[in-house]
Structures are given as structure tokens and as C-alpha cells.
Amino acid sequence: MAAVLIRVMIVYVVIIFSMRLMGKRQVGELQTTEFVITILLSEIAAIPIQDKEYPLLEAVCAVLLLSSFEVFSSALSIKSSRFRKVVQGNSLIVIRNGQVDLEQLKKLRISLEDLLEGLRCKDVFDITNVQYAIFETNGEISVMLKPESRTVTAELLNIQPPDNGLPCTVIYDGDILYTEFGECNMTEEKLRQAMNNKGLALSNIMLMIADKSGVISIITRK
């Protein structure tokens, strides 16, 4: 039993190291090569866990080799646009000015229903409002709405909103996160003052978020 636990721990550490080596990507953002490598890693990692007779060193070497190959492939894709097109393909425009390009859909082997579903996931329910829709190489759909259908922005209204900076978590589960103070100009004195104004003790606060402008949001324990 101890040998099995040791093998599992070793495989786990190697896989974590390999995934960190390949970079941070969500599953839905994986390119074809990254998706294939991920599947192969999971299969190789399962073998020494299920079969105690299988040499652990061989599995570790295979995992590291695949990870190295993916890193090399990614580096080559950055340097060579031709290699990138061969491996990842090209982004394709599937909608122009509200008109669906059926030929492009045939190349992608997706149906109109799949396209409409992808648009709904982008909160677009009327295809006539779409100026361009692009099917990206990772399977995501990028949508540009027609000017009259776009959300009104501060730039369009010709106004300059204040920069409140990045909201920071300064208290989490009753603990003060001093490392976050610099990002939102927080000090312990300001923090204590905010708690006193709300009549709250530190132990009663589940979450406190603050920004540079001094806006503070607090979630208390129930």
C-alpha cells in the first residue's frame, strides 16, 4: 500500500510540474496540440498507478518528454507563422454584416445551430446585430456587433471616468491580508477605521474588498 501511495505522489508531482511548464490555459482555450498532449499525459500517468509492475521511471520520462515537446512546439509556433498555421489552423470569419458564410461553416464542419448556440453564449440572440463573427483556432467564437448594437462606453459619451484601480481583498475569513494593501492604498489605520464605522470586529468579517478611491465592500459572517 505504501508503494502505491509513493507512486501516486510521484506521478502527481511530475504532472503538476509538467502542466506548469506548459503554461496556464483553461481547457476551453487549448489548441489542438495542447489538447492532445493533455490527453496523453493523463493516459501515461494512469498506467503506473494502475499497474505496480510498470516501471515508474519510464512513465516519468514519457511525461517529461511530452511536456518538452509541447514547449518546443509552442516556441516554434511563435517563431514560425507557417508552422503555426499548419498546427493550429486559421481563424475563419463565419458572419459578415449579419450574413452567415455557409461555406466557412462547411469547412469547420459545424452546423448553423452550433453557431447560434455559440452566439447565445456571447449574449447575442439576434444574428442581424452581428457585424463580424470569427471562429478562432481554439474553438471559441469572437463577436463584433454592429455600431448601433454595441454597448455605450465612456469613450462614446466623451467622458473620463475615475480610475479606482484594482479592487483588492484586504480581509478574508477574519484574516488581514497585508500583502494586498499597496495595490489599493490601504493602511491598517484605514482598515480599523472602516471596521469601527461599521461596528464590526475582525472575527465577524468574512470578506472585505477595497479600491484606491476608498470604496469598501464588506461581507459579514451569518
Are both 92-149 and 168-220 of the same fold? yes
The pTM of this model reads: 0.59
Among residues 177, 167, 171, which one has the least CA distance to residue 219?
Answer: 171
Dist CA 10 CA 49 (whole Å): 10
Among residues 4, 105, 107, which one has the least CA distance to residue 117?
Answer: 105
Among residues 186, 192, 189, which one has the least CA distance to residue 205?
Answer: 192
Among residues 168, 160, 156, 154, which one has the least CA distance to residue 212?
Answer: 168
Question: What strand order describes the sheet that includes 205-210?
Answer: 175-176, 168-172, 205-210, 216-220
pLDDT in tens, 131-182: 999 998 877 899 999 988 888 888 878 888 887 888 899 999 989 999 989 8
Q: What is the mean pLDDT of the chain?
A: 83
Crossing angle of helices 81-88 and 56-79, rounded to 10°: 120
pLDDT score at 218: 92
pLDDT in tens, 120-138: 999 999 999 999 999 988 7
Domain locations in the chain as residue ranges: 2-86, 92-149, 168-220
The three cell numbers of residue 54 are 510498470
Dist CA 222 CA 219 (whole Å): 9
Sign of the CA dihedral with 171 first, then 175, 180, and 181 last = positive
Q: How far is CA 43 from CA 12, 37, 125, 218, in A?
A: 13, 10, 40, 45
Residue 134 pairs in a beta bridge with 93, 142
Q: Which residue's C-alpha cell is 502527481?
A: 12
pLDDT score at 21: 66
Q: What value, to the nearest 5°, has the Cα angle with vertex 33 and ends 29 and 35?
A: 50
Q: What CATH number was assigned to the domain covering residues 168-220?
A: 3.30.240.20
Contact between 205 and 178 under an 8 Å Cβ cutoff? The reply is no
Q: Which CATH class is domain 92-149?
A: alpha beta
User: Which amino acid would we find at residue 175?
Assistant: D
